[in-house]
Amino acid sequence: MTHDDLAARTIVQTRRISAPPRIVFDAWTKPEHLARWWGPDGYTTTILAMDFREGGLLRFVMHGPDGTDYDNRIAYRRIAAPERLEYIHGSDRADDPNAFDVTVTFEDRDGATQLTMRSVFPSAEMVEAVKSFWAVELGQQTLAKLDAFVQAL
């Protein structure tokens, strides 16, 4: 695979979060926090199960403002608190062919956190498909909700 192939399959989102990495990491990894900010504007999230460990699963449902439910599953691959998370994100089934790899880093920047979320999809076509339904913009809304949540803690 060439660098160009990987770049075509990747979406990178960043945001400076107004809290230190430990607080941002906790907001991302504790179910009582995650359910309060995860998802774009107008969405809510119900955590079904969370086994936060390498090899563990997070199962949740995002509820859209139109009443549509979106089943999700995250399989944790690597946890390096509070600097890094690596996981596979897909629908709530073990063999989802559209599941994608995510790496989230939490870098300390003078008491704030530079958060970088890198998602690598199975194909460039899938990246174009998710971009076509505003996934990048919706991801930025989600990160803005995270920022507001940790500021309120």
The C-alpha atoms of residue 56 and residue 14 are separated, in whole angstroms, by 25
- pLDDT over threshold 70, residue 93: yes
In degrees, rounded to 5, the angle at the alpha carbon of residue 10 between the alpha carbons of residues 105 and 64 is 80
Residue 59 exposed, middle or buried by CB count within 10 Å (0-12, 13-18, 19+): middle
- pTM for this structure? 0.94
- pLDDT over threshold 90, residue 87: yes
Q: State residue 34's pLDDT score.
A: 96
CB-based contact 112:16 (threshold 8 Å): yes
Is 3-152 in CATH node 3.40.630.30? no
Identify the band that residue 3 occupies on the pLDDT scale cut at 50, 70 and 90. low
User: Strand pairing partners for 16?
Assistant: 114
Q: State residue 131's pLDDT score.
A: 94
Give the closest residue to 125 by CA, choosing from 97, 102, 104: 97
Say what percent of the chain tops pLDDT 90. Answer: 93
The C-alpha atoms of residue 65 and residue 47 are separated, in whole angstroms, by 17
Q: For the chain, give me the number of helices (H) and strands (E)? A: 5, 7
Q: 16 vs 134, which has greater pLDDT? A: 16
Q: State residue 153's pLDDT score.
A: 87
Identify the band that residue 134 occupies on the pLDDT scale cut at 50, 70 and 90. confident
Identify the band that residue 63 occupies on the pLDDT scale cut at 50, 70 and 90. very high
The token duo for 61 is 């449902």
Query: Which contacts of 122-125 are long-range, i.e. CB under 8 A and separated by 24 or more positions?
Result: 122/9, 122/97, 122/98, 123/9, 124/5, 124/8, 124/9
